Amino acid sequence: MATLAIGNPGGSAGFGGNRGAVGAPGPAVFAAEGTDRTDAEIMLAVAAGDEAGYNYLVTKYHRQIIHFLYRMVHNEAVAEELAQEVFLRVYRSRESYRAEAKFSTWLYRIATNLAVNHARDTKNERTAQTLELDSPDPESGSMPEVADSDPNVEQRMLREERMAAIRAQVAALPERQRMAVLMHKYQEMDYRQIGDVLKLSESATKSLLFRAYQTLRERLKEFV
């Protein structure tokens, strides 16, 4: 089984422009990494030239970073391009990496900054969009199948209406509140991790999320 088909991440080709650019690592990669090292320790090894460690981290986080970015930018192709840029920046920053926070926190900070910059750069070009929180999987395009003979059609319609309202209201939140909700609700990050990404104290992060959820409850009270 082959390792990640990304070539040399430091080269001009990057990951390549197709969806098949990242594959599953072979047993040798995981054997090289072992199970007793943290991601931060693996990243420090990458700084020392451990290419297999880099491939392991890309494989571990690639899918969730694409999902996170997709919920931020609402476009599958853009999310994939930004994800490639995230991991290229990880590689290019390998020698300056310091394990002062969890690797995932550092990674999501890079992803968040790229998503925010993209949103600002394209703000005047975008039309009104909704946040696809339960859209098709951005990699497989699959959706859960629902039988045509489902007796709970009305329930399903109400659920779809509720989800559409949630998508719209989350998308309408101020930028920082929206990012915090996505990281808290969908990436299951705790207050400290979110605060590290957004460069906020833990108490400020709690207040930010409190305001966001309070706004959502008020705007969605007919569905609660």
Q: What is the pLDDT of residues 80-130, one digit of tens each?
A: 999 999 999 999 999 999 888 789 989 999 999 898 888 777 764 543 344
Could you report the per-residue pLDDT of 147-199, keeping only the tens digit for each? 444 557 777 777 778 777 887 888 888 888 888 988 888 778 889 889 988 88
- CA gap 103, 109 in Å, rounded: 10
Percent of the chain with pLDDT over 90: 32
- Count the domains in the chain: 2
Residue 101 sits in the same domain as residue 13 = yes
Could you report the per-residue pLDDT of 19-59, keeping only the tens digit for each? 444 433 443 344 444 457 899 999 999 999 999 999 999 99
Local structure of residue 40 (DSSP, 8 states): H
Give the CATH number for residue 125: 1.10.1740.10
What is the pLDDT at residue 32?
45
Q: Which of 6, 18, 117, 98 is nearest to 54 (CA)?
A: 6
- Residue 13 belongs to domain spanning: 1-144
Residue 15 sits in the same domain as residue 81 = yes
* b/e burial code for range 100-115 (CB count within 10 A of at least 16 → b): eebbbbbbbbbbbebb
Chain mean pLDDT for the chain: 75
pTM: 0.62
